[in-house]
């Protein structure tokens, strides 16, 4: 099984012909989606690639753009329609090699990457956060003025502020290697749920990076989905338990991959250039329900089990 991942990098096509259907700004985009990380040595964490799930839906939405598909495995028909470069996102050196092969000028980057589980907790953090950060910071200098970065996080990461003291030591590491060293030296810091820890990092990183976007004229935002009907979902269900999974899905429903991809595509190519540092929940209203009180999380199976 696979997990969604897709960076996208963009360069403008030549000016469109009159009546060609270009945007009002007179621009089209080339996109470069990126790769799903490979499993750790000897392990086989569930992954979803650009051949399935949100990644595939986003590539389909970018069908009129030139897309670089970066993945550990060739995504078959999607690779035929676009450009494919193999990438192991859990390997900083592999990321550096891929970056060297990408265009010098880019209009955007979309990071739709993640694994739910791995035998070693630090592998989840390496794939979901450290690899994302390393690729992003390697490509930001290539963005054109007004370029876009979109990270796919999760509603699991929306409470990052309440855990910020646990996130800061890793957020403030300066490299992939330094981050991996911290993870290996502080396994207790990853907690019992490294996936949630990693997504809190992604959301916090996105909002902090918005300051750089102001100074360097790019925009960075993140999208936080709730449950999505993808091949990866059973992995999440195994983490939270079926009762909690069923309860969560009953509150606001389950998204299809295209529900998430359409928001990512909007942030990449739409008329929203003043949006910067936003975490957008794409969850059918689940986050709104929690924040305004019409969903009572205290009544969920997980919370009731804690109370005994």
pLDDT tens sequence across 41-93? 222 223 444 556 888 888 889 888 877 777 766 666 665 657 888 888 899 99
Q: Is residue 14 part of a domain?
A: no
Q: What is the pLDDT of residues 250-304, one digit of tens each?
A: 999 999 999 999 999 999 999 999 999 999 999 999 999 999 999 999 999 999 9
What CATH number is given to the structural domain containing 178? 3.40.50.720
Number of H helices, E strands in the chain: 13, 6
Residue 208 included in any domain: yes
The least confident of 23-32, 129-138, 166-175, 221-230 is 23-32
Q: For residue 57, which phi and psi values (nearest 5 degrees)?
A: -65, -40
Helix, strand, coil content of the chain in percent (nearest 5): 50, 15, 40
Domain assignment of residue 202, yes or no: yes
Element (H, E) at 150: strand 143-152
Is 262 inside a domain boundary?
yes
Residues 189 and 169: beta-carbon distance below 8 Å: yes
Tell me, yes or no, whether 22 lies in a domain: no
For residue 147, is it within any domain?
yes
- The domain total for the chain is 1
Question: In this structure, is residue 187 part of a structural domain?
Answer: yes
DSSP state of 82: S
Q: Which domain holds residue 252?
A: 53-307
Give a yes or no: residue 236 inside a domain: yes
Q: What is the spatial distance between Cα 215 and Cα 139, in angstroms, rounded to a whole number? A: 16
């Amino acid at each position: 099984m696979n997990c969604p991942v897709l960076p996208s990098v963009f360069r403008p096509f030549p000016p469109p012909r009159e009546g060609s259907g270009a945007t009002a700004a007179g621009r089209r985009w080339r996109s470069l989606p990126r790769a799903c990380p490979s499993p750790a040595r000897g392990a086989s964490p569930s992954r979803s690639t650009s051949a399935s799930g949100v990644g595939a839906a986003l590539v389909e939405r970018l069908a009129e753009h030139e897309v670089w598909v970066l993945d550990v495995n060739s995504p078959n028909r999607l690779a035929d329609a676009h450009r494919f470069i193999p990438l192991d996102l859990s390997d900083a050196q592999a990321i550096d090699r891929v970056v060297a092969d990408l265009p010098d000028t880019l209009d955007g980057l979309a990071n739709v990457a993640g694994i739910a589980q791995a035998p070693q907790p630090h592998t989840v953090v390496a794939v979901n956060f450290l690899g994302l950060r390393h690729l992003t910071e390697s490509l930001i200098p290539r963005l054109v003025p007004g370029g876009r970065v979109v990270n796919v996080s999760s509603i699991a990461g929306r409470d990052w502020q309440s855990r910020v003291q646990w996130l800061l030591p890793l957020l403030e590491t300066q490299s992939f290697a330094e981050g991996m060293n911290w993870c290996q030296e502080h396994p207790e810091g990853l907690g019992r749920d490294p996936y949630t820890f990693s997504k809190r990092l992604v959301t916090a990183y996105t909002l902090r990076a918005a300051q750089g976007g102001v100074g360097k004229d790019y925009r960075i935002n993140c999208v936080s989905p709730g449950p999505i009907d993808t091949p990866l979902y059973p992995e999440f269900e195994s983490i939270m338990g079926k009762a909690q999974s069923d309860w969560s899905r009953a509150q606001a429903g389950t998204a299809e991959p295209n529900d998430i991809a359409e928001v990512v595509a909007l942030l990449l190519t739409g008329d929203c250039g003043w949006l910067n540092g936003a975490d957008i929940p794409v969850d059918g209203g689940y986050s709104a329900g929690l924040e305004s009180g019409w969903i009572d999380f205290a009544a969920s199976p997980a919370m009731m089990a804690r109370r005994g």
